[in-house]
Structure 1
Amino acid sequence: MKKIKRISTILLAVMMVTIMLVGCGTKATPEESAKIFLDLLLKDDKTNMDKIGMKEEDYTEFRSSFDDGMMMAFGNSGLDESILTDDIKNSFKKDIITGLTKVEYEVVSASTEKDTAKVQVKIKGFDMKKITENGQSEIMKKVTENPSMTEQQIYTEAFKLIGGSMASGILKEEPQTVTITLTKKGGAWLPGEDDVVTLMKAIAQ
């Protein structure tokens, strides 16, 4: 379960880093930029991406980089390919993407000083503690009922349970408010790596 939780965190970090590096000119304020980034990242909503300097070809490149990054994250999981099959990878990736659309967020305030802006975002991310604990409980039941389950069968069920819980949108009861710093680069308001990590933790821990 710890490895699966780790994979989930890595996949979300890959998404964040990939999209946050996009931007080349903007018509949006820092507050609007943060909202557009989150809409694009979590909801796959391209409606206002032109306001942060993102074109259709940029979006296509982002999705391609995201898919490549996810495969790389799976490859760094330490699990054998006989366990982490393509079917499991694709199903788990789909579950995470579905779950992200259910994450709740709101950009609540922003303050700007020259080329730096601090933006507060209120997020209700995945309740990973509840998700993993429920998954462990269900797996224990299955193993007790069927002691002959192989390691591959156990992992297959575990990925199915964790992914299913994320897809169904099991979120924390209380939102977490995080502050991210955006810097104006090339006309676009972009967060730094530390802020990417902060957002990722709010979503996946």
Structure 2
Amino acid sequence: MSVSVTYDPIFGSSTIDDYLAFWTTGFATAGHGQSNTGGFSNGTFSGDQYATSGANGSDYAFIADSDASNGLHYVFNPALPANSNQNHYLYGQLDNVSLGYELGGGGGSDFTLSNYVVTFSGLDLSAALGAGRTGNEVHETIYGLMQGNTDALESVLDDLFAAYGVSTDDTFDVVAAALAAGPLSTGSAELVGVPELVDDLALAA
């Protein structure tokens, strides 16, 4: 699967790291707890999408999406301690992550984001039942986002972008040009800027 990034052109001269820091700042009030456990778009412990908004009134949010039907799963085993590596973890197929503002949908319909939206597609992460928390990129990426921490996502992106000679240290436009030119070795990718017609989008200083 090819990697792609969809972004508002207003972010074109900003680095991907700048955007991730911008989103994190807005989401950082969330932490992780009863008010920030998130949920699946079409199920209780499994679904196509998993999403949550920041807690404490934050409207910043993320959507973790699988291209496979019912492709993401959460393990809750009351017979195991809460801190067990085999309890409270996510597994399945994670293909796309969207970061943005104002989460909508759910309850049987796809989640949506209305503003500040950037979508990273073609992540191609997978973990099987029994993977646990440790070394499970699906869990680490989503759980990190639940905490307002983009480190795991950034690591995944840098691994994917390396084939094109760019990284999250580069601007969206530079990454776009590199992806359009093609990989330095094998594979293919594309990056598309999608205007959202939002007048007041701006990265925080």
TM-score normalised by L of structure 1: 0.29
Which structure carries more strand by proportion? Answer: 2
Question: Which one has the largest radius of gyration?
Answer: 1
- Structure showing greater relative contact order (alpha-carbon pairs closer than 8 Å, 6 or more residues apart): 1
Which structure carries more helix by proportion? Answer: 1
TM-score normalised by L of structure 2: 0.29
